[in-house]
């Protein structure tokens, strides 16, 4: 499984080309409370429990960064997507909590 630390995301975005997807696998209330918004990216909130039945909505060729609160749920989603044939899928190590602490303190802690 490929993981990116929060300080590596900007470099990944530059390398990803096109429009990478930030796939936030938290529940809608979590996403509304604290979300990562980055220019040049598309963000999709698709809770972890819905991934299997909505898999067809995702493009296996699109670079994707999976996000959750601390990186555990998103790691499980990355493993699932890799088994389903997705090629360019990464987990955000430490999740949005690490993002808030190390990159953007405007993103609320919860």
Cβ–Cβ under 8 Å, residues 46 and 23: yes
* Strand 21-24 relative to strand 89-92, pairing: unpaired
**CA 73 to chain centroid:** 10
SS3 at position 65? strand
Residue of 16, 48, 68, 92 with catalytic role: 68
Catalytic status, residue 68: yes
Which backbone phi and psi does 97 adopt, to 5 degrees? Answer: -65, -45
Nearest-CA neighbor of 60 among 85, 42, 80? 85
Report, as residue numbers or ranges, the catalytic residues: 68
């Amino acid at each position: 499984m490929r993981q990116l630390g929060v300080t590596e995301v900007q470099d990944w975005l530059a390398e990803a080309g096109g429009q990478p997807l930030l796939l936030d696998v938290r529940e809608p209330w979590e996403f509304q409370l604290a979300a990562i918004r980055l220019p040049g990216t598309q963000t999709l909130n698709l809770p972890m429990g819905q991934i299997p039945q909505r898999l067809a909505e995702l493009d296996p060729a699109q670079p994707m960064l999976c996000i959750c609160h601390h990186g555990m749920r998103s790691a499980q989603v990355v493993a699932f997507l890799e088994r389903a044939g997705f090629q360019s899928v990464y987990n955000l190590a430490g999740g949005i909590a690490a993002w808030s602490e190390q990159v953007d303190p405007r993103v609320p802690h919860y």
